[in-house]
Amino acid sequence: MTKNILRICFFISIFICCFGNLLPGQKARSQKPSLVVVIVIDGFRHDYLTRFKSQFSRGGFEFLLGRGANFINAHVNHLRASTGAGHATILTGASGHLSGIVDNEWYDRSLHRNVNCVEDPSAPFLGEDHGAKDKTAGRSPKSLNVSTVGDQLRLATNLRSKVVGISYKDRAAILLGGRLANAAYWWEPTTGDFVSSTYYMNELPKWVKRFNQEKFVNQFFRRHWDKLLDDHAYAVSRADSFPHEMDYKGMGIVFPHLVDGSSKNPDKEFYEAFSHTPWADSHLAAFAKAVIENENLGNGDFTDILAISFSATDRIGHLFGPYSVEIQDQVLRLDRLLKDLFAYLDKKIGVNNIIIALTADHGTGPIPEYMAGLNIDGGRIDVIPSIVDSVLDRQYGQGDWVEAFLKPSVYLSHGEIKIRNLKSADVENTAAEELRRVREITHVVTRTQLTMGDLPPDIIPRRFLNQFYPSRSGDILVHWKPY
C-alpha cells in the first residue's frame, strides 16, 4: 500500500542540463551560468515521461532526458502534497515544518477563516480591475519563512542577480521566487491578464501592460481543442468518453472540446475554461519570452533565475484524470512547447550559458470511479468532520467540535475543549480512535502525537510531521487508502 502511495502521490523528477558540457563542438560553458531556468509542471506524474515517450519530439522532454541528469528516485517528503507546499519546497529544500507553507490554504484561528498561503492584505493586486476592490486579496511571500535559492543568489550578489517567478497560479509564481524576487507574475481569471502585487513594484511595467493589451487569450474564444495526433496514437489512454470525467464550463468530456465558457463574449467563464486547456501553457511560455526580453535576463554579469510553473497539466488532470486522452494530448503538446522554448533559449542566450531544471510539485491521482470499475478498491469519502463531531458529542456532550476541516486536517474547537476543562490530548485521541475504525482510513495522527514525537515508525506519520507547523496545522491529520 505504501508503495502505491509513493508512486501515485510523490514521484517527482528533476533534470538538470549543463549543456556546455554535453554538446559536441561547442565552447565549454562559462564558469557561472547566465541564466537558470527552473521549470515546474504542476501535477506532472513521473509516469507521463515513460508512457508517452514514444510520441515525444526530439527537442522537448527527450532533450533533457537524453542530455541531462534524470533523478528517478526523488520524492516530496511531506503530506499533504499540494501546489503551495510543493512550490514552497522546490527552491527552498524545506517542507512545511520549516517553510510554514503547510498547504494551499490553512485555517487561521484568530481570523476564524481559511487563509491562502500567499495572502497578504498589505500587498494589493496590480492589474486591471484590481486594487482597492478587496483588501484581503493582496498577495506576497510573507508566510514563507525560509529563503529560496533566488533569495540567496540575490544576497550573494548584492542584489545584482535578477530573480523572476511566473505561473498561471499566484502561489506557484510567488513561492518559487521568494522574498527577494524582483518580480512574480501570475494569471488572473477575471481579465485573462498577467498581474502582480505591490509587494514587488508600484505598478505593472509598461511591457506587461502592452503584453496584456494584446489579449493573447481572446484569439482562442470559441476554438476547439482537438487531438494533436491521429486516434491510434492514443491507444495507451482510456477511451475518450468516460462518464466520471468533469464537464467544466461547457467544455464537454470528449474531443473536440469547445472552449467558450458557455459565454457570448470572452469573459471570466471563458478565461477559466481556457486555463484548463494546453493553450494556457502556450500563453505562459509567450510571457516567459517577454520576461527574458524585457527584463534582459541572462545578459548581465551575474546569474539570473527565471522560474516558470506551467499549470495546465494539473487542471486537465483534475478534470479528466491521468489515464485520459486529454492528459496524453496535454503532455504531448507541452513537449512541443518545451522544444520551442529550449530552441528560443538557445538562440537568445545560448545553451552553453544556461542551466535548466525541470520538476513537479506533486502528482495526480486517478479518478476513483475508474479504479473501482477495474475492481481496485477506489471511492470517495466525505464523512470525516461528521464522524469527529458525533463521537465528541457522545463522549463530552453536544457541541460544535469541528471548527474547520481542510483535507487532511481537522481543526477542533479549542473553545469547546476549554469550556469543559478537557485535556486536548484526550479529545484528539477520542476522535482519532473513532476515525481509525473507518475502513477507508489508514492513518490518523494527532497534534499531541506530533508535538510529543510519539509516532508509529511509518513513513506516513513522518511525512505529516515534516509538514506540521503548530500555528497553522490542524489537530487531527487523516490519511486514507490509495484511490
For the record, the C-alpha cell of 246 comes out as: 468533469
Residue span binding Zn ion (CB under 5 A) among the ranges 82-90, 215-223, 346-354, 433-441: 82-90
Separation CA 65–CA 14 (nearest Å): 10
Q: Is 119 in the site for Zn ion (CB under 5 A)?
A: no
> Least distance from C-beta 206 to Zn ion, angstroms?
31
Residue whose C-alpha is closest to residue 406's, from 75, 85, 36: 85
Separation CA 254–CA 328 (nearest Å): 13
Nearer to Zn ion, 83 or 99 (CB): 83
> Least distance from C-beta 15 to Zn ion, angstroms?
19
String marking each residue 303-332 x if it binds Zn ion according to CB under 5 A: -----------x------------------
Nearer to Zn ion, 188 or 314 (CB): 314
> Least distance from C-beta 313 to Zn ion, angstroms?
9
The sign of the dihedral angle between the CA atoms of 464, 467, 470, 475 is: negative
- Residue 133 CB coordination number (10 Å): 10
Q: Is 193 in the site for Zn ion (CB under 5 A)?
A: no
Residue from 33, 42, 120, 297 binding Zn ion (CB under 5 A): 42
The sign of the dihedral angle between the CA atoms of 184, 189, 194, 199 is: negative
Residue with CB nearest Zn ion?
83
Nearer to Zn ion, 361 or 389 (CB): 361
C-beta of residue 311 within 8 angstroms of C-beta of residue 104: no
Classify the phi-psi angles of 322: left when phi > 0, otherwise alpha if psi is within -120 to 50, otherwise beta.
Answer: alpha
For the record, the C-alpha cell of 317 comes out as: 488532470
Q: Which of 2, 50, 83, 198 is catalytic?
A: 83
C-beta of residue 196 within 8 angstroms of C-beta of residue 229: no
Terminal alpha carbon distance of the chain = 11
Q: Is 170 in the site for Zn ion (CB under 5 A)?
A: no
Q: Is 83 in the site for Zn ion (CB under 5 A)?
A: yes
Residue span binding Zn ion (CB under 5 A) among the ranges 36-44, 50-58, 157-165, 248-256: 36-44
Residue span binding Zn ion (CB under 5 A) among the ranges 83-91, 104-112, 149-157, 183-191: 83-91
Q: Is 361 in the site for Zn ion (CB under 5 A)?
A: yes
Residue 355 CB contacts under 8 Å (≥ 6 apart), including other chains: 16, 17, 18, 33, 35, 36, 37
Nearer to Zn ion, 314 or 329 (CB): 314
Residue whose C-alpha is closest to residue 117's, from 149, 134, 139: 139
- Is 2 known to be catalytic? no
> Least distance from C-beta 364 to Zn ion, angstroms?
9
Instruction: Express the helix, strand and coil content of the chain in percent, nearest 5 each.
Output: 40, 20, 45
Nearer to Zn ion, 42 or 389 (CB): 42
Nearer to Zn ion, 43 or 124 (CB): 43
Q: How many CA atoms lie within 13 A of 86 on its CB side?
A: 26
> Least distance from C-beta 85 to Zn ion, angstroms?
9
Specify the DSSP class assigned to residue 390.
Answer: H
Nearer to Zn ion, 83 or 449 (CB): 83
C-beta of residue 347 within 8 angstroms of C-beta of residue 216: no
Residue type, 358: L
> Least distance from C-beta 172 to Zn ion, angstroms?
7
Torsion of CA 94, 361, 309, 129, to 10 degrees: -90
Separation CA 31–CA 44 (nearest Å): 32
Separation CA 165–CA 185 (nearest Å): 6
Nearer to Zn ion, 169 or 339 (CB): 169
Residue whose C-alpha is closest to residue 273's, from 308, 309, 336, 315: 315
The count of residues interacting with Zn ion (CB under 5 A) is 4
Polymer length in residues for the chain: 483
Residue span binding Zn ion (CB under 5 A) among the ranges 42-50, 192-200, 389-397, 401-409: 42-50
For the record, the C-alpha cell of 247 comes out as: 464537464
Residue span binding Zn ion (CB under 5 A) among the ranges 35-43, 229-237, 366-374, 450-458: 35-43
> Least distance from C-beta 76 to Zn ion, angstroms?
11
Residue span binding Zn ion (CB under 5 A) among the ranges 80-88, 104-112, 143-151, 270-278: 80-88
> Least distance from C-beta 314 to Zn ion, angstroms?
5
Binding site for Zn ion (CB under 5 A): 42, 83, 314, 361
Give catalytic residue positions: 83
